[in-house]
A and B are shown apart, each in its own frame.
Chain A
Amino acid sequence: MPEPASNPPSGPAAGESAIPESRAELSAAEPGAARDATTAAAPAAAPEFPTPPTRAAGGVGTPHLPGGVGSSPARPDAEAKVNGTFDYASDLAFPGMLWGHTLRSPHPRARLRAVDTAAALAMPGVAAVLTAADVPGKLHYGLIEADQPVLALDQVDYQGEPVAIVAAETLDLARRAAEAISVDYEVLEPACDPEEAVANGSYFRYQPVRLGDPDAQVPAAVVAREYVVGMQDQAPLGPESGAAVPTGDGGVELYVATQWVHSDLEQIAPCLGLEPDRIHMAIAGIGGAFGAREDLSVQVHMAMLALATGRPVKMMYDRAESFFGHVHRHPARMRYEHAADADGRLLYVKARIVLDGGAYASTTEAVVGNAASLAVGPYEVEHVSVDAWGARTNNPPCGAMRGFGGVQTCFAYESQMDALAEALGLDPLEFRRRNAVAQGSKLITGQIVDAYDPSRADGGRPFSPLADMLGRFKEIPVPAVPAGRDIIELPGGTGNTTHGEGVRRGVGYGVGLKNICYSEGFDDYSTASVRLELVDGQTVAFVHTAAAEVGQGHWSLQAQIVRTELGADRVELLPNDTKAGSAGSSSASRQSYMTGGAVKAACEAVRELLRGRDLADGPVEATRVFRHRATKPMDPVTGQGESHVQLALAVHRATVDVDVELGLVKVVDLTCVQDVGKIMNPVALEGQIHGGSAQGLGLAVMEEMITEQGRVKNASFTDYLIPTILDMPPMRLRIVENADPEAPYGLRGAGEPPTLSSTPAIVAAIRDATGLPLTQIPVRPEHLTAHFGRQP
């Protein structure tokens, strides 16, 4: 990584002019204020010292500074990343370092009769073999509820549960030593059916939502269907990894790829039997996360090994172990019933949602809350009956993945909206428009949609951001079928399976509604320190937070905010570690809002302190804790409550070609309209929408961890497929800025919403091409060809 001194200080505006015109199209939305802020493109001269911006809520008054908010400076980590010199957690090396490895259960459920480590310990070069008996402190950990054993005690409850850990001179030796550990298992029958688990009362959370009286309604059209969503994996390319270094006085330093270092510390310290101040944790380079790094993986294990051996210990999972070493997206089974009146207005929605949480709690509780509260999406409906469960089974534990409980129900409610529109003879967009929430609408939890400019009206009616977004597709034509095509562009691609004979085109839409930040009364905050000082005649801002840069571009964003607020010549980001206050997790699309908000608040405080002072007299420093508005828990019986902070919308239109004879699908275009409140960094934002859309495409047509009786059948990139560059279509973006008056700069979290909406859009397009109902994702070739050969 670049050393501070080697970076020549510069005038601003380094980034922008060099950026080639993107193929994605950015267009600011109507609202005058926000538009002014982003289209004032001519970079103003670098201010001597900026006049304090107004509160800048709603994007109003945000000055457009070169390198500041609204621009796309070069990512500070990019140079090291393109040179191969960025230190990921898996690249760490310390003198005298040992390698750690985990022995995992091959059985989804078994009793541990005995664990014999003698043969492994006797191998030359093996420094330690530890089991549950060696855990120094608390035996369990967990993000919300500490129910997961550090190492299996007398039982294992999922395939891949850690049983013992080894430290040895090389990774190869550590693996062989783990094989030499003899475990006597009494294999038990696993409980793998989430519906049965719910029936037996085995679940982490049940959350109903009750509104009005669905059974008293007289509908003109009713659609009832069952939907199945497979288990998706985050599959970040960087494996779980880190290093633990004993401090020599009984403490330990941990360098680890994690999304939330303070939550890690809270869970690790009790297990190690150490006071938290004896553990120093810093975030090491992260190779993607998407939720997979919210729960602990290597942390306690490598710390135990380091403390036991007195030597640095590195752990790094291989791909197969990675599939067992983190939680997944909850698979779901959902039964939905939607009804509408003759005017095409939703009358009622009933939903029964069963998410499979697997063996341990992880974040299932919060995922169920999202699934229930967002169960009907961004539509007005007055009569609702939702029941959502997070089942406990012996399947792999499930927890956080991009979209977090919003993805599964989005596939179901959007499929329902299409089916009901068809039953009513309405255009799917028109049906959605008629039912779209608007400013002042109530969600099914009673939460009022209040995040838009109250004075904006839409022909006398309250402003509906969704209706506005749906209308924008009129300006973007569906791509025409080209006269001549490279065979690679047809379904089947390089497989050379068709010249287009059985290929049919389809178009479909999907709308996603995602809550941003933590909901349901969680005390959600972030902390930032900013110190401004003169270094060699330049103003340098030192920024200290614990926020994880997982690839989303948060480091850039912090620097941009400092540039906007303080106009510093240079911004130096200090290590993201536990010496800073908690920043919360890089999840829930919340870091721009939360740590962005904290950095902004700290900058504002620095500016206040500077009034009437000269920076030459010494540095000025401020630390601020930022909180969003308070939320409330959902009522356990009715689900009512203002449980969410902020709501964000994305709409996708997918165009697909389907070879209806072979069941092969090629997505040929994805067009996304997303409301981001305020474009903070255009290039990074487009990257988030592209990447989120890609993960939604994966869930629509290829990604599924397949389990049989609790055993994972495809823990490899050979068998678990994620989209390649050949699977991805060109994407067109229309970015809308409906500012949120409550949020810093008016921004809305942007990372997750496109992951919700791209999946149902693609499946709707496949339905359009094939005429099949398609209620299960991922859609597989056999789903598209199964009707062949069936007796009529």
Chain B
Amino acid sequence: MRVQLRVDGEAAVAEIDRPGESLLATLRDRLGRYGTKNACEQGECGSCTVLLDGDPVCACLVATAQCEGRDVKTVVGAVPRPVRDAFIACGAVQCGFCTPGLLVSVADLLARDDDPSDVQIREALAGNLCRCTGYEKIIDAVHAAAEAMADGTARPPQRQWITTPVVPSAAAEATEATP
């Protein structure tokens, strides 16, 4: 079965061989878009949250077959820069596995409400589990992002002076040992 959809503004075509294949599996395993994370495949953790025609959904609960002609935005295409900057600056990122899904949910929240209260933030993000942060810094980050987006003053980009290790993957270092 051939499904045509748009992912982060680009046309994409998925050849799926199982009618029940989830959008999450298609994004990751067929389209190589690993930005959306798989942590439970039951719609409980929110790590795979994407925008489907503008609405937040758990990609693990949406069948790719339902996505013909639809618009999917992942962490790559859905999240304004100030939201990402705020997550970095406030320490809302630890292991980071929940971060892509959270960022999409925050982007959706701020698109609906440009100055949410703590209670509104908690309700809006109740579907995104985070095991590292206890959520305090995430709430800080949402407020910081709302402020940055309201006054239009983008935070100057952090100049990075620490470089992280790189583990080889298909993109980086193809293995010569592969037959």
> Which residues of A come within 8 Å of B, CB atoms?
1-4, 7-12, 14-15, 18-20, 22-24, 67, 72-88, 90-97, 170-172, 234-239, 245-248, 253, 255, 282-290, 310-312, 316, 318-319, 486, 488-489, 494, 550-553, 555-556, 559, 569-576, 683-684, 686-687, 690-695, 716-718, 722-726, 728, 730-731
Closest Cβ of chain B to A545, distance in Å, is 10
B99–chain A nearest beta-carbon distance, Å: 5
Query: A235-B131, A694-B134, A725-B122 are known contacts. Are A78 and B93 too (CB-CB below 8 A)?
Result: yes
Is B47 an interface residue, CB under 8 A from the partner?
A: yes
B29 CB to nearest A CB, Å: 8
Q: With an 8 A cutoff between CB atoms, is B32 at the interface?
A: yes
B100 contacts A84, CB within 8 Å? Answer: yes
Contact of A87 among B129, B158, B169 (CB under 8 A): B169
Cβ distance A5 to chain B, nearest Cβ, rounded Å = 9
Contact between chains at B97 and A237 (CB < 8 Å): yes
A14 touches B41 (CB 8 A): no
Chain A residues, Cβ within 8 Å of B100 = 82, 84
Contact B32 A81 (CB under 8 A): no
Whether, in the assembled complex, B150 has its beta carbon less than 8 Å from a beta carbon of chain A, the answer is no
Q: Are A724 and B156 in contact (CB under 8 A)?
A: no
Interface of A is mostly: loop
Q: Which of B89, B126, B132, B163 meets A551, CB within 8 Å?
A: B132
Tell me the complex Cα distance, A165–B179, Å: 22
Contact of B160 with A725 in the complex, beta carbons under 8 Å: no
Cα distance A75–B91 in the bound complex, in angstroms: 8
- Chain B CB within 10 Å — which of A486, A494, A576 has the most? A486
Q: Which residue of B lies closest to A96 (CB)?
A: B178
Chain B residue contacts of A238, Cβ below 8 A = 37, 39, 95, 97
B44 and A551 form a contact (CB under 8 A): no
**Nearest 9 Cβ contacts at the A-B interface:** A84-B35, A551-B95, A81-B96, A690-B134, A287-B97, A10-B159, A694-B134, A717-B44, A76-B162
User: Interface residues of B: mostly helix, strand, loop or mixed?
Assistant: loop
**Could you say which residues of chain A place their CB within 8 Å of the CB of B72?**
none
Asked whether A247 lies within 8 Å of B177 as measured between CB atoms, the reply is yes
User: B87, A716: Cβ atoms under 8 Å?
Assistant: no
Check if B164 sits within 8 Å of A725, measured CB to CB: no
Is B71 among interface residues, defined by CB-CB distance under 8 A?
no
**Taking each of A24, A72, A81, A730, which has the highest tally of chain B beta carbons within 10 Å of its own beta carbon?**
A81
* A1 in complex: contacting residue of B76, B86, B137, B164, CB < 8 Å: B164
Contact of B137 among A97, A288, A687 (CB under 8 A): A687
10 inter-chain pairs at a CB distance below 8 angstroms, sorted by A residue, are A2-B164, A82-B96, A84-B36, A93-B171, A95-B174, A282-B167, A287-B37, A559-B162, A575-B165, A683-B91
CB–CB B140/A283 < 8 A: no
Q: Could you say which of B39, B79, B162 has the most chain A C-beta atoms within 10 Å of its C-beta?
A: B162
Are B122 and A237 closer than 8 Å at their CB atoms? no
Which residues of chain B from 7 to 48 have a CB within 8 Å of any chain A CB? 18, 28-29, 32, 34-42, 44-45, 47
B167–A92 CB distance below 8 A? yes
**Contacts A18-B89, A76-B162; is A248 near B167 (CB within 8 Å)?**
no
Is B155's CB within 8 Å of the partner chain A?
Answer: yes
Is B152 close to A, CB under 8 A? Answer: no
Interface centre among A82, A87, A95, A285 (most CB of B within 10 A): A82
Chain B window 70-102, contacts with chain A (Cβ cutoff 8 Å), 1 for yes, 0 for no: 000011100100001011111101111111100
CA distance A620 to B128 in the complex (A): 47
B123 in contact with A494 (CB, 8 Å): yes
> Is the Cβ of A570 less than 8 Å from the Cβ of B161?
yes
A574 contact set on B, CB distance < 8 A = 165
C-alpha gap A92/B134 in the complex (Å): 28
Known: A74-B88, A95-B174, A687-B91. A731 touches B134 (CB 8 A): yes
A319-B40, A570-B163, A716-B40 given; A726·B177 CB < 8 A: no
**Is the pair B132, A74 in contact by a Cβ cutoff of 8 Å?**
no
Assess the A245–B35 pair: CB atoms within 8 A: no
Q: CB-CB < 8 A to B122: which residues of A? A: 488, 725-726
